[in-house]
Amino acid sequence: MAESLEARVASLASRRSRTLRASGASERAWDLGDMALALRWWATCFAVISAFAPITSATRSVSRDAVGTVLLVLYGVLRTLLPLRPGPDRRLYAAVALESVLAAFVAFLTGGWHSPMLIMVGAALLVAGLVGGLWGLLASAAGALGFAVLGAALAWAGVVGVGTSTVIFERAGEIAGMGAIGAYAHRIFYAEGSAYNRLRWMNEIHALLFELYGLAAEHSGLFTVDGAVGATVSRLRDVLDSDVVVLLLRPATAEGTEQPWQVAYCAGVPLGGDVAERDLPEALAACSATREPVLRAHLGAGTGLGASSLTGVYAPIAVRGALIGLLALERAEGPAFSEEDRDALRAVARHAGLAVDNARTYLRLRNLGAEEERERIARELHDRIGQSLAAVAFNVDRLSASLPPGAPAQLQRELDALAGDVRGVNAEIREKLAELRGGPNAEVDLVRLLDGFLMRVETRSKLKVSFDHALDGRLPEVVEREIWRIACEAIRNVERHAGARQLSVALRDEGGCTVVEITDDGKGIDVARTLRADAYGIVGMRERADLLGATLAFDSTPGFGTTVRLRVPRT
């Protein structure tokens, strides 16, 4: 089965590589730089033939035409070896401006406005428009115009001839028209090319997703974190014999080192629950700090994870520049670990990092695809449960009103309390459904939604709410939606459980990230308990943060409030 999976993954990678090579070859064949090169040589050949044609050569200066021809050919060879490639680049704009200056010099050297080589000025503007668009055309036109002033001075001095004003206007219009055609062709080419590339990538993404779906359906266990951990441990058992095997993982949304390590696998030593950074053995702490494998051929008494361990080797699990886990192997008997064992563990840790990161990425894709299902559930809850609760509250009120005069007062109070509880639950469900079905969209941004939500919170509770925001433009809609729901969950937790008097919400850009901070002055929380599997609200917040590739941190001091901090990278 493993060989089948590896073969299919290799096939998928090979197909993607072939597609990229084919698309690269296709884009290369249609490159505007190649078109500009062909047009430059065509204009050069046309100008040289026109200059030395028998019908005109008798009345022209052969020496000047020869100098102009040499300059044009040398420049053509230079641009064949170092072609101009399309793109917004100041060096490109300078290059096309210099080309237009050279073309203007050759034209005025060989007869001014009557020169057969004047076509090179138009060709230079055409090339500038093709490779540089409007800005390239303007840069080239500026260069040509600047030299035209010099050409006028040379004409006044009698160095070159000047045609009549009619000729000047006619040929200037022709040259400007050639440049405009180039700029328009540049715009049309890239507009159509962009649409073509989007369609091509959509087709490729469709094929990749379909293949990924097939792999996930056939080997579902390998696309989970538990499956990745199991595969890593199995490989470790095959490569290195050990009495203690421990694999620790940092939560996907952990920020910095304040979050404890989760015990993903443990054998040979009892580890209860999560492990704080300060509780790591010296060798494992050094591995975490340096992000390099650590070899302890001889462990002192009590310095390893296992009380009786005599030798150990440790390796970090890192991916995309981030430390996500730690591997530890120890022996209580047998030969000491060697440098070869350390290198082998390094290789296993590298594969483990890729496997865990792939599993987490696949989970993000699944969570992203679950959005439509959430919307469907929200609609059903609104249509069924909301109306049913409203009917229950109505019936309780009716029963309370129909009680006989001699009914116990306690029964009346309990019915009234029950009706109030039902209405409260119904209001809470409606508020939750409004968050699920609402969210940011093209018309309503995150700041406006949060501002309205906080106003409702302040109205229905005793909290004094403040909201500070300073965002540089909008985020993608899917990002704003997940931030919105994380913030709503955190704010509701404050409203229900914190016993706070003040609530502060901040939304700002900071260090390439969008940061959301929600702070209260309530009774605080046990930060270690935020990783419990049954803390469903916080688990949901972490899942949404992971979907965004964000970090979620909780900072709390009992009796002095809590701060929830979400950092979302801006891409």
Taking the C-alpha atoms of residue 569 and residue 360, their distance in angstroms, rounded to an integer, is 17
Which residue is it, tokens 């470790």?
Answer: 236
- 563 and 495 within one domain: yes
Place of tokens 């059903």: 380
What average pLDDT does range 536-542 have in this prediction? 77
Tell me what pLDDT residue 270 has: 83
Q: Are residues 245 and 328 in the same domain?
A: yes
DSSP 382: I
Q: Which two tokens stand for residue 52?
A: 């030395």
End of a domain among 366, 390, 405? Answer: 366
Task: Examine the domain organization and report whether 277 and 396 are in the same domain.
Answer: no
Cα distance between residue 341 and residue 327, in whole Å: 13
- What are the backbone dihedrals phi and psi of residue 503, each rounded to the nearest 5 degrees, phi first? -135, 130
Please tell me the distance from the alpha carbon of residue 110 to that of residue 161, in angstroms, as a whole number. Answer: 9
Residue 14 has pLDDT above 60, yes or no: no
Does some domain include residue 69? yes
Q: What is the CA 393 to chain-centroid distance, rounded?
A: 48
Q: How far is CA 278 from CA 10, 101, 529, in A?
A: 42, 69, 18
Listed residues 405, 420, 437: the one ending a domain:
437
Residue 103, pLDDT score: 84
In contact, 453 and 432? CB cutoff 8 Å = no
Q: What angle do CA 558, 562, 566 make, to 5 degrees?
A: 145
When pLDDT is averaged across residues 25-44 and rounded to a whole number, the result is 71
Same domain, residue pair 499 and 361: no
Which segment of 14-28, 161-175, 345-359 scores lowest on mean pLDDT?
A: 14-28
Decide if pLDDT at 297 tops 80: yes
Is residue 431 pLDDT above 60, yes or no? yes
Residue 2 pLDDT grade (very low, low, confident, very high; cuts 50, 70, 90): very low
Q: Which residue has the higher pLDDT, 165 or 129?
A: 129
Selection from 38, 2, 255, 268 nearest residue 131 by Cα: 38
Spatial distance between the Cα atoms of 198 and 193, rounded to a whole number of angstroms: 9
- Give dist(CA 93, CA 99) in Å, integer: 10
Encode pLDDT of 72-93 as tens digits.
889 889 988 888 877 777 788 8
When pLDDT is averaged across residues 423-441 and rounded to a whole number, the result is: 68
Question: Which amino acid is present at 314?
Answer: Y
Q: In this prediction, what percent of the chain has a pLDDT beyond 70?
A: 72
Residue 322 has what pLDDT?
82
CA 109 to CA 341: how far, in whole Å? 76
pLDDT digits (tens, 9 = 90+) for 54-70: 655 555 677 888 888 88
Compute the distance between CA of residue 110 and CA of residue 103 in angstroms, rounded to an integer: 11
Residue type, 528: A
Is 349 within the bounds of a domain?
yes
Distances (CA, A) of 272 to 225, 229, 261, 275: 20, 18, 12, 8
Q: Measure Cα distances from 180 to 119, 124, 125, 500, 530 in Å.
A: 15, 12, 8, 67, 63
Mean predicted confidence (pLDDT) in 206-233: 69
Is residue 12 in some structural domain?
A: no
In a domain, 218, yes or no: no
Q: What is the pLDDT of residues 476-511, one digit of tens each?
A: 888 888 888 888 888 888 888 888 888 999 998 888
Looking at 381, 411, 437, the residue that finishes a domain is: 437
DSSP track, 317-347? EEETTEEEEEEEEEESSSSPP-HHHHHHHHH
The CA-based dihedral angle spanning residues 77, 78, 81, 86, taken in that order and rounded to the nearest 10 degrees? -120
pLDDT of residue 1: 40
Cβ-count burial of 272 within 10 angstroms (0-12 exposed, 13-18 middle, 19+ buried)? exposed
462-484 burial code (b ≥16 CB/10 A, e <16): ebebebeeeeeeebeeebbbbbb
The predicted-structure confidence for 246-262, as pLDDT tens digits, reads as follows 898 887 766 655 567 88
Asked if the model's pLDDT at residue 463 lies above 60, the reply is: yes
Structural tokens at position 404 = 């006989």
Using alpha carbons only, give the angle 292, 293, 298 rounded to the nearest 5 degrees: 135
H or E element: which one contains 481?
helix 477-493
**pTM for the full model?**
0.48
- Contact predicate 471/509, CB 8 Å: yes
- With 0-12 / 13-18 / 19 or more C-beta atoms within 10 angstroms meaning exposed / middle / buried, residue 153 is exposed
- 175 pLDDT more than 50: yes
Residue 289 clears pLDDT 80, i.e. is over it: yes
pLDDT of residue 27: 42
Same domain, 428 and 348: no
In this prediction, residue 198 carries a pLDDT of 59
The answer to whether residue 520 is domain-embedded is yes
Domain identity same for 53 and 193: yes
Task: Note whether 391 and 339 are same-domain residues.
Answer: no
Domain match, 158 and 278 both = no
- Of 70-74, 118-122, 319-323, 535-539, the poorest mean pLDDT is in 535-539
Q: Give the total number of structural domains in the chain.
A: 4
Report the percentage of the chain scoring pLDDT > 90: 3
Question: What three-state secondary structure class fits 365?
Answer: helix
Whether residue 415 is predicted with pLDDT greater than 70 in this model: the reply is: yes
Average pLDDT, the chain: 76
| pLDDT the model gives residue 119 | 81
- Predicted pLDDT of residue 217: 58
Pick the range with the lowest mean pLDDT from 105-109, 138-142, 148-152: 148-152
Amino acid at 214: G
Within a domain: 184: yes
On the question of pLDDT at 20 being above 50, the answer is no
Q: What is the pLDDT of residue 163?
A: 46
**Residue 374 domain flag:** yes
- The boundaries of the domain holding residue 38 are 31-197
Q: Is the pLDDT of residue 159 over 60?
A: no
Instruction: Please check whether residues 193 and 238 belong to one and the same domain.
Output: no
What local confidence, expressed as pLDDT, does residue 173 receive?
65
Predicted confidence at residue 570, as pLDDT, reads 77
Asked whether residue 2 is assigned to any structural domain, the reply reads no
| 231 & 296 share domain | yes
Q: Cα–Cα distance between 223 and 305 in angstroms, integer?
A: 29
The answer on pLDDT for 233 being more than 80 is yes
DSSP-derived 3-state class of residue 557: coil
Q: How sure is the predictor about 197, in pLDDT bands with cuts at 50, 70 and 90?
A: low
**Closest by CA position to 471, among listed 439, 445, 453:** 445
Confirm if 337 and 312 have CB atoms less than 8 A apart: yes
Task: Note whether 122 and 137 are within 8 A (CB).
Answer: no
Q: Which strand ranges, in their side-by-side order, compose the sheet holding 262-267?
A: 262-267, 244-249, 322-331, 311-319, 294-296
Please name the residues in contact with 35: beta carbons below 8 A apart, sequence gap of 6 or more. Answer: 130
Is residue 19 predicted with pLDDT exceeding 60? no
CA angle 352, 355, 358 (to 5 degrees): 145
175 and 71 in one domain?
yes
Residue 314 is predicted with a pLDDT of 92
Residue 229 belongs to domain with CATH number: 3.30.450.40
Provide DSSP, 430-447: HHHHHHHH----SSS-HH
Residues 100, 124 contacting (CB under 8 angstroms): yes
Among 264-268, 310-314, 340-344, 522-526, which is the least confidently predicted range? 522-526
Residues 379 and 361 in one domain: no
